[in-house]
Chains A and B, each alone.
Chain A
Amino acid sequence: MPGISTASLPDIVFMLLFFFMVSTTMREVTVNVLQRLPSATEVRKLERKSLVSYIYIGTPRSAFQSLYGTEPRIQLNDQFATTEDIFAFIASEREARDESEIPFMTTSLKVDNEARMGIVDDVKRALRRANALKINYSTYTVEDIFD
Protein backbone atom coordinates (compact mmCIF):
# COMPACT_ATOMS: atom_id res chain seq x y z
CA MET A 1 0.00 0.00 0.00
CA PRO A 2 1.50 3.34 -0.99
CA GLY A 3 1.88 6.04 1.70
CA ILE A 4 -0.21 9.22 1.56
CA SER A 5 1.57 11.84 -0.53
CA THR A 6 2.92 14.72 1.57
CA ALA A 7 3.79 16.89 -1.37
CA SER A 8 0.91 19.27 -0.66
CA LEU A 9 1.67 19.58 3.07
CA PRO A 10 3.75 22.77 2.71
CA ASP A 11 0.97 24.37 0.67
CA ILE A 12 -1.61 23.59 3.32
CA VAL A 13 0.62 24.94 6.07
CA PHE A 14 1.38 28.09 4.09
CA MET A 15 -2.33 28.64 3.63
CA LEU A 16 -2.86 28.43 7.39
CA LEU A 17 0.11 30.73 7.90
CA PHE A 18 -1.28 33.40 5.58
CA PHE A 19 -4.67 33.16 7.26
CA PHE A 20 -3.14 33.87 10.66
CA MET A 21 -0.88 36.60 9.34
CA VAL A 22 -3.81 38.46 7.84
CA SER A 23 -6.43 38.01 10.53
CA THR A 24 -4.40 38.66 13.67
CA THR A 25 -2.50 41.59 15.09
CA MET A 26 0.79 41.65 17.00
CA ARG A 27 0.62 41.50 20.78
CA GLU A 28 2.07 44.78 21.94
CA VAL A 29 1.90 44.68 25.70
CA THR A 30 1.84 41.92 28.26
CA VAL A 31 -1.18 42.49 30.42
CA ASN A 32 -0.12 42.18 34.05
CA VAL A 33 -3.58 42.59 35.50
CA LEU A 34 -6.37 40.04 35.60
CA GLN A 35 -9.12 40.93 33.19
CA ARG A 36 -12.63 39.69 32.95
CA LEU A 37 -14.25 42.31 30.76
CA PRO A 38 -17.94 43.07 31.19
CA SER A 39 -20.45 42.13 28.50
CA ALA A 40 -22.73 44.45 26.55
CA THR A 41 -25.15 44.25 23.66
CA GLU A 42 -24.87 47.73 22.15
CA VAL A 43 -21.22 47.50 21.15
CA ARG A 44 -19.46 49.22 18.30
CA LYS A 45 -16.24 47.95 16.78
CA LEU A 46 -13.22 50.18 17.21
CA GLU A 47 -12.05 51.47 13.86
CA ARG A 48 -8.42 52.23 13.08
CA LYS A 49 -6.58 50.30 15.74
CA SER A 50 -3.38 52.27 15.20
CA LEU A 51 -5.07 55.29 16.77
CA VAL A 52 -6.17 53.48 19.92
CA SER A 53 -4.32 53.73 23.24
CA TYR A 54 -5.06 51.22 25.95
CA ILE A 55 -5.46 51.66 29.68
CA TYR A 56 -5.78 48.43 31.65
CA ILE A 57 -7.32 48.33 35.11
CA GLY A 58 -7.62 45.23 37.26
CA THR A 59 -6.18 43.17 40.07
CA PRO A 60 -2.44 42.51 39.52
CA ARG A 61 -1.54 38.95 38.48
CA SER A 62 -0.35 36.73 41.33
CA ALA A 63 3.33 37.27 40.43
CA PHE A 64 2.91 41.00 41.07
CA GLN A 65 0.66 40.84 44.08
CA SER A 66 3.49 40.90 46.63
CA LEU A 67 4.65 44.19 45.11
CA TYR A 68 1.41 45.88 44.11
CA GLY A 69 -1.23 44.30 46.35
CA THR A 70 -4.58 42.83 45.38
CA GLU A 71 -6.56 46.03 44.86
CA PRO A 72 -7.23 46.97 41.20
CA ARG A 73 -4.37 48.94 39.68
CA ILE A 74 -3.79 50.88 36.48
CA GLN A 75 -1.44 49.53 33.82
CA LEU A 76 -0.06 51.73 31.04
CA ASN A 77 2.13 50.07 28.39
CA ASP A 78 4.02 47.39 30.33
CA GLN A 79 4.10 49.09 33.71
CA PHE A 80 1.87 49.70 36.67
CA ALA A 81 1.05 53.37 36.98
CA THR A 82 -0.99 55.90 38.89
CA THR A 83 -3.49 58.48 37.66
CA GLU A 84 -0.73 61.13 37.62
CA ASP A 85 1.09 59.17 34.89
CA ILE A 86 -1.87 59.30 32.50
CA PHE A 87 -1.16 62.85 31.35
CA ALA A 88 2.39 61.90 30.30
CA PHE A 89 1.11 58.66 28.74
CA ILE A 90 -1.41 60.51 26.57
CA ALA A 91 1.24 63.06 25.62
CA SER A 92 3.67 60.33 24.51
CA GLU A 93 0.91 58.52 22.59
CA ARG A 94 0.16 61.76 20.75
CA GLU A 95 3.83 62.30 20.05
CA ALA A 96 3.96 58.96 18.27
CA ARG A 97 1.08 59.81 15.88
CA ASP A 98 0.78 62.21 13.02
CA GLU A 99 -0.51 65.59 14.09
CA SER A 100 -3.51 65.47 11.76
CA GLU A 101 -4.65 62.21 13.34
CA ILE A 102 -4.65 63.40 16.95
CA PRO A 103 -8.36 64.39 16.94
CA PHE A 104 -9.30 60.82 15.99
CA MET A 105 -7.35 59.13 18.76
CA THR A 106 -9.39 57.00 21.12
CA THR A 107 -8.54 55.68 24.55
CA SER A 108 -9.80 52.18 25.19
CA LEU A 109 -10.48 51.39 28.84
CA LYS A 110 -10.03 47.71 29.52
CA VAL A 111 -11.40 47.44 33.02
CA ASP A 112 -12.10 44.33 35.06
CA ASN A 113 -15.73 43.59 35.89
CA GLU A 114 -15.02 43.61 39.61
CA ALA A 115 -13.15 46.92 39.75
CA ARG A 116 -14.82 49.80 41.58
CA MET A 117 -15.87 52.97 39.81
CA GLY A 118 -13.66 55.09 42.07
CA ILE A 119 -10.52 54.22 40.14
CA VAL A 120 -12.34 54.49 36.80
CA ASP A 121 -13.64 57.96 37.69
CA ASP A 122 -10.11 59.04 38.63
CA VAL A 123 -8.85 57.82 35.25
CA LYS A 124 -11.68 59.59 33.45
CA ARG A 125 -10.88 62.84 35.25
CA ALA A 126 -7.20 62.48 34.30
CA LEU A 127 -8.21 61.89 30.68
CA ARG A 128 -10.37 65.00 30.69
CA ARG A 129 -7.46 66.97 32.07
CA ALA A 130 -5.26 65.59 29.28
CA ASN A 131 -8.04 66.51 26.82
CA ALA A 132 -8.31 62.91 25.57
CA LEU A 133 -12.07 62.93 25.39
CA LYS A 134 -12.89 60.02 23.09
CA ILE A 135 -13.07 56.87 25.14
CA ASN A 136 -14.33 53.36 24.65
CA TYR A 137 -15.36 51.01 27.44
CA SER A 138 -14.06 47.69 26.18
CA THR A 139 -16.62 44.89 26.49
CA TYR A 140 -17.45 41.49 25.12
CA THR A 141 -20.39 41.22 22.79
CA VAL A 142 -23.34 39.14 23.96
CA GLU A 143 -26.94 38.77 22.84
CA ASP A 144 -28.46 39.41 26.24
CA ILE A 145 -26.77 40.84 29.31
CA PHE A 146 -29.25 39.22 31.70
CA ASP A 147 -28.22 35.64 30.94
Chain B
Amino acid sequence: MARITPEIPSASLADIAFMLLIFFLVATTMDVDSGLSRTLPPMPEDEEQEDDSQIRERNIFTVRVDALDRLLVEGDLEDLRNLRDRAKEFIANPNDEPHLPDKEIEDIEYFGEIPVSRQVISLQNARGTSYGMYIKVQNELTAAYNELRDELAMDQFGRIFDRLDTDQQAAVRKVFPMRISEAEPRQVGGN
Protein backbone atom coordinates (compact mmCIF):
# COMPACT_ATOMS: atom_id res chain seq x y z
CA MET B 1 0.00 0.00 0.00
CA ALA B 2 1.36 3.40 -0.99
CA ARG B 3 2.05 5.85 1.79
CA ILE B 4 -0.28 8.79 1.81
CA THR B 5 1.77 11.97 1.66
CA PRO B 6 0.14 15.00 3.23
CA GLU B 7 -0.66 17.70 0.64
CA ILE B 8 1.38 20.90 0.63
CA PRO B 9 -0.86 23.64 1.99
CA SER B 10 -1.75 26.06 -0.80
CA ALA B 11 -3.41 28.69 1.34
CA SER B 12 -0.39 31.02 1.08
CA LEU B 13 -0.14 30.71 -2.71
CA ALA B 14 -2.30 33.76 -3.19
CA ASP B 15 -0.12 35.80 -0.83
CA ILE B 16 3.04 34.80 -2.67
CA ALA B 17 1.50 35.69 -6.01
CA PHE B 18 0.35 39.04 -4.60
CA MET B 19 3.87 39.78 -3.41
CA LEU B 20 5.29 39.07 -6.86
CA LEU B 21 2.57 41.15 -8.44
CA ILE B 22 3.33 44.12 -6.22
CA PHE B 23 7.02 43.80 -6.96
CA PHE B 24 6.37 44.00 -10.69
CA LEU B 25 3.95 46.88 -10.26
CA VAL B 26 6.61 48.91 -8.46
CA ALA B 27 9.73 47.95 -10.39
CA THR B 28 8.47 48.31 -13.95
CA THR B 29 7.08 51.03 -16.14
CA MET B 30 4.49 50.79 -18.80
CA ASP B 31 5.20 53.90 -20.87
CA VAL B 32 5.55 53.28 -24.56
CA ASP B 33 8.23 55.44 -25.95
CA SER B 34 7.11 57.49 -28.87
CA GLY B 35 8.02 60.77 -30.43
CA LEU B 36 9.26 62.60 -33.49
CA SER B 37 12.22 60.91 -35.14
CA ARG B 38 14.91 62.94 -36.85
CA THR B 39 18.33 62.33 -38.35
CA LEU B 40 20.95 64.93 -37.53
CA PRO B 41 23.32 66.03 -40.31
CA PRO B 42 26.83 64.65 -39.87
CA MET B 43 29.46 67.01 -38.48
CA PRO B 44 31.37 68.63 -41.37
CA GLU B 45 34.98 67.38 -41.51
CA ASP B 46 36.75 70.71 -41.33
CA GLU B 47 34.43 72.65 -39.01
CA GLU B 48 33.18 74.84 -41.85
CA GLN B 49 29.70 76.29 -41.63
CA GLU B 50 27.03 74.59 -43.68
CA ASP B 51 26.18 76.73 -46.61
CA ASP B 52 22.64 77.10 -47.88
CA SER B 53 23.57 79.72 -50.44
CA GLN B 54 23.84 77.36 -53.43
CA ILE B 55 20.14 76.59 -53.04
CA ARG B 56 17.97 79.06 -54.89
CA GLU B 57 15.85 81.36 -52.81
CA ARG B 58 12.54 80.08 -54.21
CA ASN B 59 13.40 76.56 -53.05
CA ILE B 60 13.87 77.52 -49.42
CA PHE B 61 11.01 77.90 -46.95
CA THR B 62 12.33 79.79 -43.97
CA VAL B 63 10.70 79.06 -40.63
CA ARG B 64 12.07 80.95 -37.66
CA VAL B 65 11.09 80.83 -34.03
CA ASP B 66 12.54 83.65 -31.99
CA ALA B 67 13.37 83.80 -28.29
CA LEU B 68 9.85 84.99 -27.46
CA ASP B 69 8.34 81.96 -29.24
CA ARG B 70 7.08 84.07 -32.12
CA LEU B 71 6.82 82.24 -35.42
CA LEU B 72 8.17 83.89 -38.57
CA VAL B 73 7.41 82.17 -41.86
CA GLU B 74 9.30 83.56 -44.89
CA GLY B 75 9.88 86.70 -42.84
CA ASP B 76 6.29 87.43 -41.73
CA LEU B 77 4.72 86.76 -38.36
CA GLU B 78 2.43 83.77 -38.74
CA ASP B 79 0.00 81.87 -36.57
CA LEU B 80 1.05 78.31 -35.78
CA ARG B 81 -2.32 77.06 -37.02
CA ASN B 82 -1.57 78.24 -40.57
CA LEU B 83 1.92 76.75 -40.69
CA ARG B 84 0.81 73.31 -41.82
CA ASP B 85 -1.14 74.58 -44.82
CA ARG B 86 1.57 77.02 -45.87
CA ALA B 87 4.20 74.28 -45.64
CA LYS B 88 2.02 71.93 -47.70
CA GLU B 89 1.51 74.55 -50.38
CA PHE B 90 5.23 75.21 -50.48
CA ILE B 91 6.27 71.55 -50.63
CA ALA B 92 3.82 70.47 -53.32
CA ASN B 93 3.62 73.73 -55.29
CA PRO B 94 0.41 72.47 -56.95
CA ASN B 95 -0.04 75.41 -59.35
CA ASP B 96 3.64 75.75 -60.38
CA GLU B 97 3.89 79.26 -59.03
CA PRO B 98 7.15 81.04 -59.83
CA HIS B 99 7.91 82.00 -56.20
CA LEU B 100 7.50 78.40 -54.96
CA PRO B 101 10.07 75.66 -55.56
CA ASP B 102 10.91 74.49 -59.09
CA LYS B 103 10.50 70.86 -60.06
CA GLU B 104 12.63 68.25 -61.69
CA ILE B 105 11.21 65.34 -63.68
CA GLU B 106 12.30 62.12 -62.03
CA ASP B 107 11.65 58.50 -62.88
CA ILE B 108 10.21 56.81 -59.81
CA GLU B 109 8.90 53.28 -59.51
CA TYR B 110 5.06 53.05 -59.51
CA PHE B 111 4.75 56.69 -60.61
CA GLY B 112 6.83 56.80 -63.80
CA GLU B 113 8.01 60.26 -64.79
CA ILE B 114 6.84 62.64 -62.11
CA PRO B 115 7.86 66.20 -61.25
CA VAL B 116 9.55 66.32 -57.84
CA SER B 117 9.86 69.69 -56.16
CA ARG B 118 13.31 70.68 -54.94
CA GLN B 119 12.02 72.03 -51.67
CA VAL B 120 14.06 72.57 -48.53
CA ILE B 121 12.57 73.77 -45.27
CA SER B 122 15.01 75.78 -43.23
CA LEU B 123 14.13 75.76 -39.54
CA GLN B 124 15.91 78.25 -37.32
CA ASN B 125 15.49 78.77 -33.63
CA ALA B 126 17.04 81.02 -31.01
CA ARG B 127 18.75 79.74 -27.89
CA GLY B 128 15.87 81.16 -25.86
CA THR B 129 13.10 79.42 -27.80
CA SER B 130 11.10 77.10 -25.55
CA TYR B 131 11.29 73.40 -26.30
CA GLY B 132 7.50 73.10 -26.28
CA MET B 133 7.18 75.64 -29.10
CA TYR B 134 10.00 74.01 -31.08
CA ILE B 135 8.26 70.62 -30.90
CA LYS B 136 4.97 72.18 -32.01
CA VAL B 137 6.67 73.66 -35.07
CA GLN B 138 8.45 70.37 -35.83
CA ASN B 139 5.12 68.58 -35.42
CA GLU B 140 3.34 70.88 -37.89
CA LEU B 141 6.12 70.50 -40.47
CA THR B 142 6.05 66.71 -40.07
CA ALA B 143 2.27 66.82 -40.40
CA ALA B 144 2.59 68.73 -43.68
CA TYR B 145 4.80 66.00 -45.16
CA ASN B 146 2.65 63.21 -43.75
CA GLU B 147 -0.57 64.70 -45.14
CA LEU B 148 0.96 65.13 -48.61
CA ARG B 149 2.25 61.56 -48.54
CA ASP B 150 -1.13 60.28 -47.42
CA GLU B 151 -2.90 62.19 -50.20
CA LEU B 152 -0.49 60.88 -52.82
CA ALA B 153 -0.73 57.31 -51.50
CA MET B 154 -4.53 57.59 -51.55
CA ASP B 155 -4.52 58.78 -55.19
CA GLN B 156 -2.05 56.18 -56.40
CA PHE B 157 -2.73 53.11 -54.28
CA GLY B 158 -6.06 53.82 -52.60
CA ARG B 159 -4.58 53.39 -49.14
CA ILE B 160 -2.96 55.72 -46.64
CA PHE B 161 0.83 55.86 -46.43
CA ASP B 162 1.14 53.69 -43.31
CA ARG B 163 -0.75 50.84 -45.00
CA LEU B 164 1.57 50.66 -48.02
CA ASP B 165 4.29 48.05 -48.32
CA THR B 166 7.94 49.04 -47.98
CA ASP B 167 8.65 49.57 -51.68
CA GLN B 168 5.56 51.71 -52.15
CA GLN B 169 6.45 53.77 -49.08
CA ALA B 170 9.95 54.31 -50.44
CA ALA B 171 8.49 55.51 -53.76
CA VAL B 172 6.13 57.95 -52.03
CA ARG B 173 9.01 59.18 -49.90
CA LYS B 174 10.99 59.91 -53.05
CA VAL B 175 8.20 62.14 -54.35
CA PHE B 176 7.97 64.04 -51.06
CA PRO B 177 11.36 63.64 -49.35
CA MET B 178 11.46 65.22 -45.90
CA ARG B 179 14.10 67.91 -46.04
CA ILE B 180 14.17 69.95 -42.87
CA SER B 181 17.49 71.73 -42.55
CA GLU B 182 18.37 73.12 -39.18
CA ALA B 183 20.99 75.81 -39.22
CA GLU B 184 23.09 76.57 -36.17
CA PRO B 185 20.93 78.79 -33.97
CA ARG B 186 21.28 82.48 -34.56
CA GLN B 187 20.50 85.36 -32.31
CA VAL B 188 16.95 86.02 -33.41
CA GLY B 189 15.39 88.79 -31.38
CA GLY B 190 17.75 88.57 -28.41
CA ASN B 191 18.07 85.73 -25.97
- Among B34, B38, B125, the residue within 8 A (CB) of A45 is B34
Known: A20-B28, A24-B28, A133-B39. A44 touches B34 (CB 8 A): yes
Chain B residues with CB under 8 A of A43:
34-36
Chain B residues with CB under 8 A of A139:
34-36, 135, 139
Instruction: Decide if A59 is an interface residue (CB 8 Å cutoff).
Output: no
Instruction: Decide if A41 is an interface residue (CB 8 Å cutoff).
Output: yes
* A45 vs B35: C-alpha distance when bound (angstroms): 7
Instruction: Decide if A21 is an interface residue (CB 8 Å cutoff).
Output: yes
- Among B14, B40, B132, B191, the residue within 8 A (CB) of A6 is B14
Residue in chain B with minimal CB distance to A38: B135
Instruction: Decide if A83 is an interface residue (CB 8 Å cutoff).
Output: no
B40 with A128: CB separation less than 8 A: yes
Instruction: Decide if B81 is an interface residue (CB 8 Å cutoff).
Output: yes
* A16 vs B18: C-alpha distance when bound (angstroms): 9
Instruction: Decide if A76 is an interface residue (CB 8 Å cutoff).
Output: no
Residue in chain B with minimal CB distance to A138: B35
Q: How many residues of A contact B (CB 8 A)?
A: 51
Instruction: Decide if A2 is an interface residue (CB 8 Å cutoff).
Output: no
- Shortest CB-to-CB span from B178 to chain A, Å, is 11
- Shortest CB-to-CB span from A113 to chain B, Å, is 4
Chain A residues with CB under 8 A of B191:
118
- Shortest CB-to-CB span from B120 to chain A, Å, is 18
- Among B18, B25, B42, B142, the residue within 8 A (CB) of A42 is B142
* A139 vs B10: C-alpha distance when bound (angstroms): 46
B125 with A20: CB separation less than 8 A: no
* A97 vs B100: C-alpha distance when bound (angstroms): 46
* A118 vs B184: C-alpha distance when bound (angstroms): 11
* A20 vs B142: C-alpha distance when bound (angstroms): 34
* A44 vs B32: C-alpha distance when bound (angstroms): 11
Chain A residues with CB under 8 A of B35:
40, 43-44, 46, 108, 136-139
For the A-B complex with A117-B126, A146-B81 known, give 17 more contacts whose Cβ atoms are closer than 8 Å: A14-B17, A23-B30, A38-B132, A40-B35, A40-B135, A40-B139, A41-B143, A42-B146, A43-B35, A46-B34, A116-B130, A117-B129, A118-B127, A133-B39, A134-B40, A138-B33, A139-B35
Residues in chain B within 8 A of chain A (CB atoms): 10, 13-14, 17-18, 20-21, 24-25, 27-30, 32-43, 80-81, 125-132, 134-136, 138-139, 142-143, 146, 184-185, 191
Residues in chain A within 8 A of chain B (CB atoms): 6, 9-10, 13-14, 16-17, 20-21, 23-27, 38, 40-46, 49, 52, 106, 108, 111-118, 120-121, 124, 127-129, 131, 133-139, 141, 145-146
List, sorted by A's number, 15 A–B pairs whose CB atoms are closer than 8 Å.
Answer: A10-B10, A10-B17, A13-B14, A38-B132, A41-B143, A116-B131, A117-B131, A118-B127, A121-B184, A128-B40, A135-B39, A136-B37, A137-B36, A137-B135, A139-B36
